[in-house]
Structure 1
């Protein structure tokens, strides 16, 4: 496993040399993002992730949430097409049609039942094209630990927290999060973004050092996953999207600190800082 000294530190200079694709053409050229999650009690996670994807430059947004939350979410996010998951853990024909057409699928924000998540992940990833980019977050990562064969997409990013990393590893990750990210990347053949440590299956490793305590707030992880999805939609590769998202997420928090203190800002406020942070690099 690599030591922290073997990781490349993510800096504005590194990202400037690894420039994002220029956002040109129609909204279709910047990707159709489908976010699937949002149980009855937690539809806001999908809102945060979806709006973050748009703020990161995605062209079109589609959201799938618990059926009883769909109308309210469609009003809260008028920029998005919103459909309801009529039965927990099951994707209907309408949702599967969106899955087949999506350029990027973000699965997991706001799900709250592991068995439902396993069934939902199996049906969604089974219908998605192999070249569709996939971001797995939250309960979708627990589902992946139970059904690793479900992930067949070639462009995938996993965004676990430490607890979710433990489920994926089958053990506690310990203090060596760089090593844990690298092990997960090799095991699941996906890019892994774990608390500022990014690893790809081919061996590349990066570290984001700007994060502060304020990012440890409810919904913050949903925002980060949404940024990754949005950057994938506009054409970034998985490792590039994960590195840019880690930096944009961290620096957006730092931009808010003078107004709200280091720990007083909300995840929804991070979202609006994302495009400015990206533009300044």
Structure 2
């Protein structure tokens, strides 16, 4: 397992030598992100993730949420195509969008593990798109570890989700935990500032603020990853850039709000300008 000393520190210089794909061109050239999540009580998670994906440069956004929330979300995010999902079987419209998407972000706002497993199975067998798994989708992956099938994938667990995926508490060695998860699931893992890929690469982002530990912050981070993947970034590159942009967006807010007190929706508003300053 990599130690902290073996991780590369994510800095503007490192990112400058690892530039994102050219963002020029029309919206199709910058990719389509489909965010699937949003249970009846938590549609805001999909909103945060989806808008963050657009701010990170994705060209098109599609959202699939609980049927009850679809109309309200379509008004809140007029830039997106919004559809509802419900019941045991996936409506054809969700599967059609999955087939056409460049990146699928699954998990924000879901709250039923069995339902999430059904969603993951149904959607991923329909597409070879890049995938970002977050929240309940990570618990689903722990029960269906082979479902990713060697695709471009990034996993964005918090500490609790990492414990579920590992089958134990990760402890203080988060670099080692990220590497273990990357090897186990054959995907890039971004865990609390530590990024690992299954081929042994390891990075550490050191700019995070305490205030990033706020409701909805993880949805923003996963959305940034999805948006960068849609632009054509490789999984480890997208994860490292997203970790830095997420953390620095918090730093940009701190002079106005202090280290704690800023909101996840305010992080979203800093994403595009933070990327532009790297």
Same-fold call, TM > 0.5? yes
Match of 1:274 in 2: 271
Q: How far did 1:146 drift?
A: 0.8
3-state SS, counterpart of residue 134 of structure 1? strand
Q: Please show how residues 179-198 of structure 1 align to structure 2 within 5 Å.
A: 179-198=176-195
3-state SS, counterpart of residue 252 of structure 2? helix
Match of 1:161 in 2: 158
Match of 1:126 in 2: 125
3-state SS, counterpart of residue 146 of structure 2? helix
Match of 2:35 in 1: 35
User: TM-score, normalized by length of structure 1?
Assistant: 0.98
Match of 1:107 in 2: 106
Match of 1:52 in 2: 52
Aligned length: 278
Match of 1:22 in 2: 22
3-state SS, counterpart of residue 198 of structure 1? strand
User: TM-score, normalized by length of structure 2?
Assistant: 0.99
Q: Please show how residues 218-257 of structure 1 align to structure 2 within 5 Å.
A: 218-257=215-254
User: Do the aligned residues in 2 keep the contact of 1:133 with 1:153 (CA within 8 Å)?
Assistant: no
Q: Identify unmatched segments of 5+ residues in structure 2.
A: none
Q: CA deviation digits over 1:154-175, x for unaligned, max 9?
A: 2000000011111111111111
- Name the Cα RMSD after superposition: 0.7
3-state SS, counterpart of residue 206 of structure 2? coil
1:236, 1:57 → 2: CA distance?
11
Q: CA deviation digits over 1:17-68, x for unaligned, max 9?
A: 0000111211000000000000000000000000000000000000000000
2:174, 2:90 → 1: CA distance?
34
Match of 1:85 in 2: 85
1:55, 1:259 → 2: CA distance?
21
Q: Please show how residues 134-153 of structure 1 align to structure 2 within 5 Å.
A: 134-153=131-150
Q: Identify unmatched segments of 5+ residues in structure 1.
A: none
C-alpha spacing 1:153/1:105, structure 2 compared with 1 (3 Å): farther
2:150, 2:179 → 1: CA distance?
19
User: Do the aligned residues in 1 keep the contact of 2:150 with 2:186 (CA within 8 Å)?
Assistant: no
User: Do the aligned residues in 1 keep the contact of 2:29 with 2:231 (CA within 8 Å)?
Assistant: yes
